[in-house]
Amino acid sequence: MAKGSLSGRARKSLAAKSPVCGWKLEKSAQRCGALRVAGLDEVGRGPMFGPVVAAAVILDCNTRFRGLNDSKKLTEAKRVELDAQIRAKAMAWAIAAVDVETIDRINIRRASLLAMRLAVEQLWLEPDYLLIDGMDTIDWPCPQRSVIQGDGTSYSIAAASVLAKVYRDALLVELDRQYPGYGLASHKGYCSKEHLEALERLGPTPLHRKNWSPVAQRMLVFDGEPILLEADAPRFVVRDFS
């Protein structure tokens, strides 16, 4: 066997530990009486710039999406392709964003949960069961199940991850034109070397998260005056796409 290669047993062991995306969780909920299972996921917990975005999606288990999986495992072209299919075929879907000011005020974990709850509120079809990516549930009056690596396990959660990712990525491309020089279109607000160098050179914008360490450090400038590129920061509001 070549050095560094895996044996058949090792490959099977790794495959057994990796989640497989499918309808297993949705069908389990249906056996408990659920009729409208919504998958929830968020995008944008890690960046130091921009809102956190969440999506909620209710799918018919008879619907087929070729290649649907955790959005992080897909190419940009595949995400865009699936985004259009999900919007067209889903029983209901919605996207919500929570702005930077709220993230700084209540912290990113709570802001992420708020974004997911707001997305559920926007659904025209009320869900009776929620599948949520991660470790938390949300403030919503129906049975829920949090699923670690849920976006790679449940088609409904995977669909939500795709919608949220495509929406937020497109938003960051727009904001790159509004705030040139930071490279937002490429790194999408994450703490890349390019972004950190631009932050050092240009200072924070109104849409940088002030509680993030690199941003907070750059706000400690001469005379304690923070650097802002505009007097008034634009606010993000929840958008109804149901």
Beta bridge partners of 94: 56
Question: Based on the domain organization, do 123 and 186 belong to the same domain?
Answer: no
Domain that holds residue 161: 20-175
Sign of CA dihedral 20, 26, 32, 38: positive
Determine how β-strand 129-133 pairs with β-strand 144-147. parallel
CATH number, residue 114: 3.30.420.10
Entry field: residues in the chain: 242
Question: Based on the domain organization, do 133 and 167 belong to the same domain?
Answer: yes
Question: Based on the domain organization, do 209 and 161 belong to the same domain?
Answer: no
> Three-state SS string across 24-86, please?
HHHHHHHHCCCCCEEEEEEECCCCCECCEEEEEEECCCCCCCCCCCCHHHCCHHHHHHHHHHH
Note the pTM of the prediction, 2 decimals. 0.84
pLDDT by position in tens, the chain (length 242): 444 445 566 555 544 467 899 999 999 999 999 999 999 999 999 999 999 999 999 999 999 999 999 999 999 999 999 999 999 999 999 999 999 999 999 999 999 999 999 999 999 999 999 999 999 999 999 999 999 999 999 999 999 999 999 999 999 999 999 999 999 999 999 999 999 999 999 999 999 999 888 898 887 653 345 444 443 344 444 444 44
Which run of H or of E encompasses 167? helix 155-178
